[in-house]
Amino acid sequence: MADPASTITLLHGEYALVVGQDGSRMSVRVEGEHLDDEDGLPVSVVLVTALARRLLEDPDFHDEMLEWYEEHDEEDDDEVAGTA
């Protein structure tokens, strides 16, 4: 049996970058309204799409993002503990 799907409600003007992983294979997609708008996409959609594409196509960027997150996650933990 497949895992049940999750849902998220996006507000007007919000877009989501959905990242998945199956073994070593990563997938990304952008969700939101008006993604097929012929008049052009909002800047936020272009930024999210660029981020998704770079995550998939640039292994160095992928590693840099993980390192950045780990560094900032430790900073957030210090702030919560009151040691910042």
Q: pLDDT class for 82, splitting at 50, 70, 90?
A: low
Closest CA to 32 of 41, 20, 23, 40: 41
Residue 44: pLDDT band (50, 70, 90) is confident
Q: Is residue 33 part of a domain?
A: yes
Number of separate domains in the chain: 1
- Does 8 reside within a domain? no
pLDDT at 67: 92
Instruction: Look up the domain containing 68 and give its range.
Output: 16-81
Mean pLDDT of the chain, nearest integer = 80
With respect to residue 11, please indicate whether it lies within any of the assigned structural domains: no
Residue 2 belongs to some domain of the structure: no
CB 54 within 8 A of CB 61: yes
In this structure, is residue 3 part of a structural domain?
Answer: no
- Whole-number pLDDT of residue 24: 83
Q: Is pTM beyond 0.75 here? A: no
- Alpha carbons 77 and 55: distance in angstroms, whole number: 26
